[in-house]
């Protein structure tokens, strides 16, 4: 199944009839994922595709960019107290062995190395 994103998240908010602040919303993860997609779309070359990855067992990564190297990006808009690599990212790393991976968080920032992959946890406000 393809994912659908809005170029204008304000239009999305009107359609869902929810104009509350991000912290008051139940769909804040979806909104932040949509914003990240829009930022990726602006910075990618016109012919480059932004893909997502999902296994039959439902492990997924929100965005996969392919240029010279493959880059998985997972959006987890939540506060992290400690490092926790999302299961979809773990599965992706095990399968494809990328050099880098990114996890977009609410407010957590850290870099770690796991199975020869550098994983960067980046707060969404830095994107």
pLDDT for res 46: 60
Q: What are the structure tokens assigned to 115, written together?
A: 């199975």
Taking 80 as the threshold, does the pLDDT of residue 1 lie above it? no
CA 108 to chain CA mean position, Å:
14
Confidence class for position 127, pLDDT limits 50, 70, 90: confident
Output the average pLDDT for the chain. Answer: 91
Taking 60 as the threshold, does the pLDDT of residue 47 lie above it? no
**Dist CA 1 CA 14 (whole Å):** 24
Confidence class for position 4, pLDDT limits 50, 70, 90: confident
Taking 90 as the threshold, does the pLDDT of residue 44 lie above it? no
Q: What are the structure tokens assigned to 107, written together?
A: 């407010």
Q: Which residue has the higher pLDDT, 71 or 47?
A: 71
Alpha helices by DSSP H, the chain = 9-16, 28-43, 87-96
**Cβ distance 71 to 49 under 8 Å?**
no
* Backbone CA torsion sign across 24, 29, 34, 38: positive
Confidence class for position 81, pLDDT limits 50, 70, 90: confident
- Confidence (pTM): 0.91
Mean pLDDT on 79-93: 93
**Cβ distance 30 to 6 under 8 Å?**
no
């Amino acid at each position: 199944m393809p994912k659908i994103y809005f170029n204008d998240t304000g239009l999305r908010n009107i359609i869902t009839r929810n104009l509350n602040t991000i912290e008051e919303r139940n769909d804040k993860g979806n909104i932040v994922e949509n914003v990240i997609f829009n930022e990726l779309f602006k910075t990618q070359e016109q012919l480059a595709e932004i893909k997502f990855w999902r296994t039959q067992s439902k492990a997924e990564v929100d965005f996969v960019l392919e240029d010279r190297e493959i880059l998985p990006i997972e959006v987890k808009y939540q506060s992290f107290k400690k490092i926790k690599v999302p299961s979809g990212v773990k599965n992706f790393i095990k399968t494809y062995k990328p050099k880098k991976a990114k996890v977009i968080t609410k407010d957590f920032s850290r870099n770690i190395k796991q199975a020869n992959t550098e994983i960067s946890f980046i707060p969404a406000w830095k994107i």
